[in-house]
Structure 1
């Protein structure tokens, strides 16, 4: 009997998908405004995604397959295919940023800057970490469950708790805060300098919560525990990200803050100011942060691939990808994913150093692709409000049809705004190219990717249709030759019904 996930096991698995300390520096740039932005993002985007996903994931017969199943059943197969491909392609690129954080933290903990500055060495470490984690996931859900529990507690909870204690002690001892903690001042700053591009990172930090639906069927009681875990995660993630972002902002001056290593900067400064005799803790915490990111990568290796596997089972991918190992892991899809990550990682690491305008364009493209998935998710949810009213689901948004329309509508509107905002270049990109060039490049790349996905669907759907025509077999039944010829068709029908029963 396969091991089942407990409620806590599912919670830690999903939390590992979403939460990591590498997001704190981006939040710290906004100071106290980060708290306001995180709460706003939770209500206008994170909570709608979680609630709508929870309801669709607990509809009878929709428990497996994730966004592909939901969107295929609510809209059509083509849109389901587009959604899951966009989700999966985004994930493959996102692995690269997570692995870069691991390598950066390792270079800090081991005092080996060359790990992060030598492109060839960096890529070797990149491949080593990624493929070790990938092969570790081929053992099935039991292996993933153990890894992410250890990594969540040791790599997220413990280092975050240490860091928050250090930040509070830093303030209590009278050290100056590097950000203005006045709520009134921060609200005034929003009124004078707010832009949608500054709000987008807070929404994107929560992207991926719907991928946990791929694991719902592995829970002991998915229809009860899945919604509980998702809703608990919403509040936990907002609280931890807000506190972590504030802690970094309090300790590190804004003009010295590094988005790549800001957390390690903050921990180093805090320890040197609060308990200089324990400076060795800096490297210990760095290793713990590595552990946390290892859990995040591990939880993402199989999750989106399992959703893509539902596409393979629907014969919308070549039959080769339907293969699973003895633990139920779609190993060939996992290997395909690993190959893509390795190739794109080589391009960004060896050719571009992993830190320039080309990388930012690539990340913008992944955001655009992911927003397509969310747009289709919310459109699907809004449609089932009217088309699936009589279908049983164990979780529903309370408040009736109008509350459901409100939640789904707010989520759809915020997603469309984020999608449009990704076509607006940031200041550092404008230092490398004009706004017109950026829009042309990102629009062109997005249309190429979308076209390839649609062409792939068209090709595979035609292949399946032709295969069915070629392999159709007629059943032959022995018919009493004394039956009058005109009555033999009726005899066929009766015989068929008898055999089927």
Structure 2
């Protein structure tokens, strides 16, 4: 335990650093050209840092060290809103799968020269279902079988292609001196003043989501009052630099009118190889395969992890007992199946009805941010409520700046979250095939249905709670058990331990102790 508590600044930074590698979001950044740098700075300063700091304080309040977001909100606003917070935290994953698998399909379509795979809605949805359900069925055997896959796929399929893209981008720029986006500052300022809208910042918010998962481990950090803010500021700077370079690398060679969101990175790599190292043009196919492999590894770790976060509601009996059973491999099979049905329905709507185009990709990003922001809104509201509690509980970390700092930082985060949440109901300028009215109606209906269903689930569970009698018990994970190659959004904060397995383990430990005592007694005689 002592070694865990002494995790240094670098150790904690590496715990969160996976969120820096987000090459699949570069095409969305590329749409804004040079202005993407400004949007990343804005998202990092007025949203990411407030989330990180307020989550850290909530996580270290006495009584909040177990249960994650559910406990943070429940202990302040009540179990209803605690359930809403954790349920929406899980729901956003079901939509996020869509953009992730679109990315795989885009890469495969490019390297196979099979355009129909990415443009034919029925074929694209069929490929989507094969990939998603194939990974889901494979995961039913437990997460242990995927740990090595995730480590390898993260290095080869996410880090390596990102580095290649950035290196090629530098070579291209210094070799040609030409870029496909407007570099004139006056033109960019004019574009910002005349065309800026809140919905533009949605993909930049998405790039920074998930930090609350790392805040849960602040108790393991040495000197948290100094090291945690320092780690978060460092993370923001690195994220802004890497994401800016990545987005600008894509924007430099792929004009906006020819940019495909789920193929943008591979498009850029192909053009850059042709312009800088034509002899290595075949390398684009290697990069495409590696990127598809990287995303498959990422998806495999996301299928089970976020579902486990719902298990903290078991002691409140909110979710039906039927949903909270696990198999011998500690996999919540029934919840995984329910998750799969939700993903199948939403992906069908976006892929078949909305043709799986750039518009569908943009909608999927907006839906993800919309759902996730419900959780963040509740985090900020909970934080502001606890700031005003007279008899404050002890906590290992406080937002810097005293009471003024607490109000200022959480207030900025809350206002930003509310503004961006509102913007997800309005189509951005890059959505061409759906009218503003139709888009807004679709998004409002989606949100009302999801929100209403969440409240119904809570009401039925709350009125007739079914508590206890599970074949497992849950415990909070320690930071040294966290697989660092998994993105924060896909991590799970709790480990499920089968009760029968735990009892057998306890019996073996008792036998070992008795055997050792008997041996010592015999020796003394």
Q: 1:210 to 1:301 in 2, by over 3 A?
A: farther
Contact 1:148 1:295 in 2 (8 A): yes
Distance 2:191 2:355 in 1: 35
Q: 1:327 to 1:52 in 2, by over 3 A?
A: farther
Q: 1:148 to 1:399 in 2, by over 3 A?
A: farther
| Residue equivalent to 1:341 | 343
Distance 1:415 1:302 in 2: 27
| Residue equivalent to 1:257 | 259
Distance 1:157 1:358 in 2: 27
**Structure 1 stretches lacking a partner, 5+ long:** 469-501
Q: Which of 165, 168, 171 is matched with 1:169 structurally?
A: 171
Q: Which of 300, 314, 317 is matched with 2:316 structurally?
A: 314
Q: 1:181 to 1:429 in 2, by over 3 A?
A: closer
Q: Which of 78, 81, 85 is matched with 1:79 structurally?
A: 81
| Residue equivalent to 2:452 | 451
Within-5 A mapping of 1:68-107: 68-107=70-109
Deviation readout 1:386-436 (Å, 9 max, x if unpaired): 338743333332222221221111100000101111222334657533x34
Cα root mean square deviation, aligned: 3.4
Distance 1:174 1:372 in 2: 45
Contact 1:211 1:304 in 2 (8 A): no
Q: 1:58 to 1:294 in 2, by over 3 A?
A: farther
**Alignment: residue pair count:** 462
| Residue equivalent to 1:201 | 203
Q: Tell me the TM-score normalized by structure 1.
A: 0.81
| Residue equivalent to 1:51 | 53
Greater alpha carbon shift after TM alignment, 364-373 vs 70-79: 364-373
**Structure 2 stretches lacking a partner, 5+ long:** 469-525
Question: How many Å apart are 1:77 and its aligned residue?
Answer: 0.7
Contact 2:104 2:292 in 1 (8 A): yes
Question: How many Å apart are 1:101 and its aligned residue?
Answer: 0.8
Q: Which of 289, 302, 305 is matched with 2:304 structurally?
A: 302
| Residue equivalent to 1:442 | 443
Contact 2:20 2:242 in 1 (8 A): no
Distance 2:320 2:54 in 1: 31
| Residue equivalent to 1:472 | none
Question: How many Å apart are 1:167 and its aligned residue?
Answer: 1.2
Q: 1:284 to 1:362 in 2, by over 3 A?
A: closer
Q: Secondary structure at the match of 2:319?
A: coil
Residue 372 (structure 2) pairs with residue 370 (structure 1): yes
Q: 1:9 to 1:317 in 2, by over 3 A?
A: farther
Contact 1:50 1:231 in 2 (8 A): no
Question: How many Å apart are 1:38 and its aligned residue?
Answer: 0.3
Contact 1:136 1:143 in 2 (8 A): no
Distance 1:244 1:337 in 2: 32
Question: How many Å apart are 1:292 and its aligned residue?
Answer: 3.0
Q: Tell me the TM-score normalized by structure 2.
A: 0.78
Q: Which of 262, 282, 307 is matched with 1:280 structurally?
A: 282
| Residue equivalent to 2:396 | 394
Q: 1:321 to 1:227 in 2, by over 3 A?
A: farther
Contact 1:159 1:285 in 2 (8 A): yes
Q: 1:145 to 1:42 in 2, by over 3 A?
A: farther
Question: How many Å apart are 1:206 and its aligned residue?
Answer: 2.0
